[in-house]
Every structure is written in C-alpha cells, then in structure tokens.
Amino acid sequence: MASTIQRSIVTTESRAVRYLLTSLALLFIGVFLVIPLASVFIEAFRQGWQLYLAALVEPDALQAIKLTLIVAAISLPANLIFGIAAAWSIARFDFRGKSILTTLIDLPFSVSPVVAGLIYVLMFGAQGWWGPWLIENDYKIIFAVPGIVLATIFVTFPFVARELIPLMEAQGSDEEQAAIVLGASSWQMFWRVTLPNIKWGLLYGVILANARAMGEFGAVSVVSGHIRGMTNTVPLHVEILYNEYNFVGAFACASILALLALLTLAAKSYVEWKSEQQAEADRRHAVEE
C-alpha cells in the first residue's frame, strides 16, 4: 500500500515539469562534472601517447604515485580498525560520553584539512610541543612520510565509522546475542555473524576512505613540505607541474586521480547494488519466516 501511494505521488507532476527538472539536473552534471572530467583526459592526451607515458614514468611522478599508494595502504587498515571499533562501541553499548564520541567522529568533516595539517605542525614541528624532543632523537614526522600518514588518517577516519554506525544500529544485536547464547566466543560471533552482516557497508566506507586518502591535498600540503621526489603525493605533484607550466605532465598525473574517481564510482555503485540485493533477500527471508 505504501509503495503504491508513493508511486502515485511521484507521477502526479506533469510531463513538462519532469522533463524540465531532469534537463536541469543533466545540464548541471554535464557542466560541472562531465565536461571538466573529460577535459582532464583530453589535455593529458593532447600531445600524444608518448608524452603522456613519459610524464607518468618520470622519476618524480613515479615517486609521487608510490608515496600515494604507501600512504593509502597504511591509512586504510587504521581506518578499518578504528571504524569497526567505534561503530561497535556506539551501536552496541550505552556509556557516558557516547554523544560526544559520535560528534568527535564527525570532526574532520567540519575542520578544514589545512587546519588539520597546521595542528600536526603545532604538535610535531620544530617549534611544536614535541618538536625539540623529536629533533634531539632524530625522529622526523613533519616534512616526512609519518606526518603525511597522520594527516591522511585524520581526514579519512570518519568514513568507515559513519557507514557502519547507522547500519549496525538498524540491524540490532539479536543475531549476535543468539550466537553468544549458542556458545560462540566473541571472536566467533564477530567473524561469523557481525562481519557478514556489515561487509557491504564496511566495503563502502573503505572505498570512500581510499578515494579521499589518494586525493587529499590540503592537510598533506601543509605537513609534507613539498619536497620534490620525496614527500609529494600525486595531488601535490600535479600542482607543482601545473605551476611550472608543464601542462602535459600535470594533466597526465591528474588523469590518474580522475581514473581513480571513476573506478571509485563504479565500485560504489556495485556495493550499493549488492547491498540492496542483500537487504531485499533479508526482507524476503523475514516474510517467509
């Protein structure tokens, strides 16, 4: 009944209004998304495949790509562990300060990435709180890979948690409690009950976190020092090449990020489709029971 009412409400608008709204949406997407994205690939290949490939295999570009992959490979497991732990504690337990923890998880969404980078400079820089001790013991965080990793983790850690918290709250804990009653240990319950139920939401959060980690600019720009061939990720390398009027190299490296965005979109759509299929199967199973 509800779906019938909803369909009738959706189709009450006139055909002209529907076409107008659809045209405006497509125009907006074309002007602000499709055309800029296509221009990246057009500019990258404007002078041929040879120069495009030469720009990608240039030593500084390879180092930037390598560093970007390393940072993502380190930050993703950290986000995964934190996201599952935070979602588990918030969705399954009631404790003092729960609302504060939920709010703090959203902090990177409201704080500018540049400010986040400055915070790490204040903490670990030469004039920072722990800077003198780090220099004395020959530890490098700012203007080195550890600082880039810390800044990337800061701007990406909400994604996994924010996908899992509402999912786990909606699913409830009935199946987990049943597993415990039947004699399962905590780890068995997690691997055989909790993880299969949240796998698509978890994968969705990981995809978003990975895309943000590889494309982050503001926080990484502050803590990296822009040391060419050492602390430049792909976004920073694109900026340097563009400022040097090396447009082929800049757009060639930018095409890597654009391709990543397209792959992320495809993976996101696939995960959403699988998640909807699972939800539909769960509904059918509940009806049959």
Read off the pLDDT of residues 4-40 as tens digits, 9 standing for 90 and up.
Answer: 444 444 556 778 888 888 899 999 988 888 888 888 8
Task: Say if 30 falls within a structural domain.
Answer: no
The beta strand positions in 100-250, using DSSP E, are: none
pLDDT of residue 288: 67
* Range of the structural domain that residue 136 is part of: 49-281
Whether 55 shows a pLDDT value over 60: the answer reads yes
Read off the pLDDT of residues 223-246 as tens digits, 9 standing for 90 and up.
Answer: 998 888 889 999 999 999 999 999
> How much of the chain exceeds pLDDT 90, in percent?
31
Confidence of residue 222 (pLDDT cuts 50, 70, 90): very high
Q: Rounded to two decimals, what is the model's pTM?
A: 0.82
Look at the chain and report how many structural domains it folds into: 1
Task: Say if 36 falls within a structural domain.
Answer: no
pLDDT of residue 121: 92
Task: Say if 166 falls within a structural domain.
Answer: yes
Q: What CATH number is given to the structural domain containing 160?
A: 1.10.3720.10
Task: Say if 143 falls within a structural domain.
Answer: yes
Nearest CA to 36 out of 264, 248, 261, 268 is that of: 261
Confidence of residue 70 (pLDDT cuts 50, 70, 90): very high
DSSP assignments along 113-157, one per residue: HHHHHHHHHHHHSTTSSSHHHHHHTT---TTSHHHHHHHHHHHHT
Task: Say if 42 falls within a structural domain.
Answer: no
